[in-house]
Each structure stands twice: as C-alpha cells, then as structure tokens.
Amino acid sequence: MNEKNFVVSVCDAIGKNPTTGDILFVGKTLINSALKETIQSKEITGGFGAGLQYEFSYGKKLECDIEDCKFEPTFLALNNGVLITSETQNYFSHNEVVTLTAGTGALAQTPIGKIYVEMPDGTNQIVDTSNAKPITIGSATIDIVCTYQYSTTVDTISIDSDKYPSSIELTLISKVFNANGQSKELQIFIPKYKISGSMDLSFTQDGVSSSKLSGKALATNTNNYAKIMMKTLGTNSVPVTQIACTTAEVTLANAATDTLEVIGIRGGVYGNVLMSNADLDFTSDTPGVVTAGLHTGILTWAGAGAATITIALTSDNNILDVVNVTCNA
C-alpha cells in the first residue's frame, strides 16, 4: 500500500472483568500506553566457521503498560487484587483551626485519643479531652491548630501480603491518520491481561502523582495473546484487486435456485474478504436458461441448457470472474 498512515499520540484504555462482563475503567487521560513484544531465539550453527544453519524461535511474550495522568483508585485496587470497600476507620483530622474564646473551643469531630495542638507562639501541646469535642487551654482568645483521629466511614483499598492481582480484559484504542485526517481506528484486545501488581506512588513537592498498570498477556486456550483490529473510516478501505466465486460450476435442477458467494482478494498481507452481493453485478449470457439477480447473485432455472454467469465489481467492471451453469430438464 502506498497510502501513508501514522499512529499518533497515546491510546485510550478500557478494562473489563472477564467473569462478570463489568467495565472496570475507561482511561481517557493516559500519558503513556506501550505494547512490547519480545521473542527469544536459539541459533543452531555448524560446519567450518560455525555458519548459522537454523534459528529456533520460542518464548514469545507480550507486555503492556499504561499510565494515567490523574489519580485512579481503580488502578490501586487492581494492582492489589482487592475491591474498594466502605469501612469505618480511625481517620485523621489535621490542620484543623479551632478558635478558643476565653480558653474554650470545640473540635469539629469527636476525637479518639489525645489531640496534638499547635499554639500561636510556636509551641505544641498534647491535650486529652476524654474523647469529647470541647477543648480548653488556658483563658486566652486565640486560634489553635489541632490534629487528631476520629471515627468515620471511608472508602478503603487494602494492601495485603496474601492477595495478588488477577487478569482482566484490556483493550487499547488508538487513532490512525493520513494526510486527509483520521483514516482508521485501531483497537488492540488482550483477553487475558495479567496485572503484575508492581506500582509506585510518587509524592513530590512540585509533581503530580500518576497511576500505572503493568502486566503481560497470558495465552488463551487457542494460544492467542491479542487481536489487533483496524476499522477503516470513510472510503479508505484496502481495495479488492481480484474476485473469485466460491464455486466455478453450478448445476440447477428443474425450477431450482441457488445463490452465489464471492470472495474479494486484497493481496499482500491482507486476507480475503467475503463480498456483499450488493456491491457486485451478476449477469447471465443466456437468460432463457438461467437468470441472475443483478445485485443478489440469485440464480433461477429458466430452461434446460448451459449458460455463463459473469460477476463483476459494480465500482470496477474490469475486476470480474465467471461461473458455468448447467440447467437440467
């Protein structure tokens, strides 16, 4: 193909639970999406000079990494093989400003344990309110900063030593462009994407923490790692260079009918396609023996004898094939 196509920018990603069919995430803000295929090989050498006689290939692996620019809790849960659950936990309230009037104020939440208090003069105090909101320090009217724990319901992701990630269905979606704009959409479907569980969360003074998934494709029962699917947009499809009817000769009994099927040959690395009869012209050289539906490919017995059916692309009548038909009395 002389058409110049280019895959640009990052992919979108869709994760799906292979058991329930539920979509786990739709990643539209990725900053990295990489697919890497590796193959091991062993060289067989022999003879004078140890010439290379054969190369045995084995150990094909397919790895995939995706990274989202935003914080994605689903990635954390998948990396640890757990669900995001709602639980009651002891949660910190920190940097809570409390105004003391004549030394007395009130916390926003009911504390559990003691309160760490930062005073206006830069000193710190540990105050025990006996798990009650009211807090009293001295007799001044001042603002203090409190840090303490209280009980509340939160979403939790547990990192457990005995739980590991499982596999999901992963689909990567990318756009393919040529000089006229987007020509194709590319989808890479991995039916068994085994998440590695390796992850990092970087909290830096001037940075933004991203969310990552890394893993490898596991082989299916048919030894498949992935399917790369390309959907042509508009009129940019790979052209058919030849057509061939699935049968070269047809015999019809009295008053019988038959429907022809035609294969389109695209050539090169592109496989054959089953043509739509609506895109073809079917004509009979002897309608008194057999008639042919112009865009249906339906042959109908009309009388005893022999006839030839010509099949041509509607868009290019120079691409054609013929079928011989015998009609019995």
Per-residue pLDDT of the chain (329 residues; tens, 9 = 90+): 567 889 989 999 999 999 999 999 999 999 999 999 999 999 999 999 999 999 999 999 999 999 999 999 999 999 999 999 999 999 999 999 999 999 999 999 999 999 999 999 999 999 999 999 999 999 999 999 999 999 999 999 999 999 999 999 999 999 998 887 888 899 999 999 999 999 988 899 998 999 999 999 999 999 999 999 998 886 556 788 899 999 999 999 999 999 999 999 987 777 888 999 999 999 999 999 999 999 999 999 999 999 999 999 998 999 999 999 999 98
Same domain, 130 and 274: no
E strand or H helix at 80, and its extent? helix 73-80
Same domain, 216 and 184: yes
- pLDDT for residue 271: 82
Same domain, 257 and 278: yes
Domain count, the chain: 3
CATH of the domain at 14: 2.30.110
Same domain, 178 and 151: no
Could you list the residue range(s) of the whole structural domain that residue 108 is in? Answer: 86-156
Is 47 part of any domain? Answer: no
d(CA 66, CA 215): 9
pTM flag (> 0.75): no
Is 43 part of any domain? Answer: no
Q: Which residue has the tokens 């050289």?
A: 285
- pLDDT for residue 237: 64
Is 44 part of any domain? Answer: no
Same domain, 65 and 172: yes
Contacts of 151 (CB under 8 A, 6+ apart): 88, 89, 90, 91, 110, 112
Q: Are strands 242-245 and 142-156 parallel, antiparallel or unpaired?
A: unpaired
d(CA 79, CA 74): 9
- pLDDT for residue 235: 58
Same domain, 71 and 116: no
Q: Are strands 124-127 and 85-100 parallel, antiparallel or unpaired?
A: unpaired
Point out the domain boundary residue: 232, 265, 294: 232
d(CA 142, CA 128): 19
Which residue, among 220, 102, 89, has the nearest Cα to 151 in the 3D structure? Answer: 89
d(CA 145, CA 135): 12
Q: Cβ(219)–Cβ(191) under 8 Å? A: no
Tell me the longest C-alpha to C-alpha distance in the chain.
Answer: 118
Q: What are the residues facing 96 on neighbouring strands?
A: 146
Point out the domain boundary residue: 136, 156, 176: 156
- pLDDT for residue 329: 84
Point out the domain boundary residue: 198, 232, 266: 232
Same domain, 224 and 246: no
Same domain, 19 and 166: yes
Contacts of 94 (CB under 8 A, 6+ apart): 147
d(CA 277, CA 223): 35
- pLDDT for residue 55: 96
Q: What are the residues facing 169 on neighbouring strands?
A: 16
